[in-house]
Structures are given as C-alpha cells and as structure tokens.
C-alpha cells in the first residue's frame, strides 16, 4: 500500500481568488483515501467558486441581462359595458446605457452637464385582435404588441 500525505491534496487545487489560511497537519493515509479526499475537496471548491464568481441570468427573467428584451406583459382590461378580461401582449424591458459628462463652458455655457441616454423602446409592433363580450354584443378590439425591442435615445417631453 502506497502512503500519501494529506498535504498533497491542498496543492492540487490552487485558488487564486481566495486567500485561505489553514492549519495543515501531516498524516499518512492510503492511496484510495487520498483520491477520495481530493475528489470531495474538488467538489466543495467548485461548488463554492460557482456560488461566488458566476452570476447566472435567470432563464425565466431574461430582461435582467444587459440590453432591451421582448417580454410578455399581462394586464386586466376593463371597458365600460363589457366583460373584464385579462390579456397578454409583448412589451420591452431591460437595461440600456446612459451617462453624463460636464459640458464645455465655451460651447454650451447655459448647459453645465450633457446627458446622453438610451431607453428600452418598442421598435416595431403588430396588431392583436380580441373579441370582447359587451352589453351591445361582441366587439372586436385591437391592441398593439411588440415585435422588436432595442435600446434607443430617450425623449424628454
């Protein structure tokens, strides 16, 4: 039986992102035990490193990623003398870039700051028709639904 020291397990996995301080003891263990300990040590290190260094985007909420994304938007529609109904259309949601810089006093003395920003906007829509039960009969209503989304300049009104 080949004897290995447990100290060799610690040197198998360098972790440059973490500063670990530990008290290491030198004990003699068997070859299969050393492999098993190395395996579990690797599992633990990988588990913790993924928890701290990977920021996954939730697949159910893709809008949390940078950019402007098409998402479903549900709401209750209430029209006088008609049945209230719930409708889902497409909307745009996300995070777009913006920044502000000091303006040049020579070129724009009345404007000390120049702001440049983009907002998440609907770029193209399509009509979505819905039949609604109303007091005077069935009515066909048309709503807009986003087809494409993009970061685009923001308007100040």
Domain with CATH 2.10.90.10 in the chain: 62-153
Question: Mapping DSSP to helix (H, G, I), strand (E, B) and coil, where does residue 80 land?
Answer: coil
**Positive or negative, the Cα torsion across 140, 146, 148, 154?**
positive
Name, in order, each residue with C-beta under 8 angstroms of 21's C-beta and a sequence gap of 6 or more.
Answer: none
Give the per-residue pLDDT at 5: 45
What is the distance between the alpha carbons of residues 153 and 65, in angstroms, rounded to a whole number?
A: 19
Neighbour order of strands in the sheet with 113-134: 98-102, 113-134, 137-153
The tokens describing 8, both together, are 């060799």
Choose the CATH number for 62-153 among 2.60.40.1510, 2.10.90.10, 3.40.50.300, 2.40.128.20: 2.10.90.10
pTM, two decimals, is 0.53
**pLDDT given at position 39:** 65
Residues of the chain with pLDDT under 70: 1-34, 36-60, 62-63, 156-157
What pLDDT, on the 0 to 100 scale, is given for residue 28?
A: 56
Alpha helices in the chain (DSSP H): 7-12, 31-53
| Residue-level pLDDT at 104 | 83
């Amino acid at each position: 039986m080949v004897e290995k020291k447990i100290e060799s397990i610690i040197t198998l996995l360098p972790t440059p992102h973490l500063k670990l301080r530990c008290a290491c003891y030198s004990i003699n263990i068997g070859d299969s035990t050393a492999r098993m300990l190395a395996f579990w040590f690797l599992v633990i290190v990988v588990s913790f490193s993924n928890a701290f260094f990977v920021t996954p985007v939730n697949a159910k909420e893709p809008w949390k990623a940078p950019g402007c994304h098409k998402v479903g938007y549900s709401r209750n529609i209430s029209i006088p003398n008609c049945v209230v109904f719930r409708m889902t259309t497409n909307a745009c949601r996300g995070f777009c870039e913006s920044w502000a810089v000091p303006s040049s006093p020579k070129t724009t003395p009345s404007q000390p700051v120049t702001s440049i920003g983009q907002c998440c906007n609907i770029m193209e829509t399509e009509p979505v028709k819905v039949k609604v039960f109303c007091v005077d009969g069935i009515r066909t209503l048309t709503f807009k639904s986003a087809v494409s989304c993009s970061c685009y300049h923001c308007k100040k009104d």
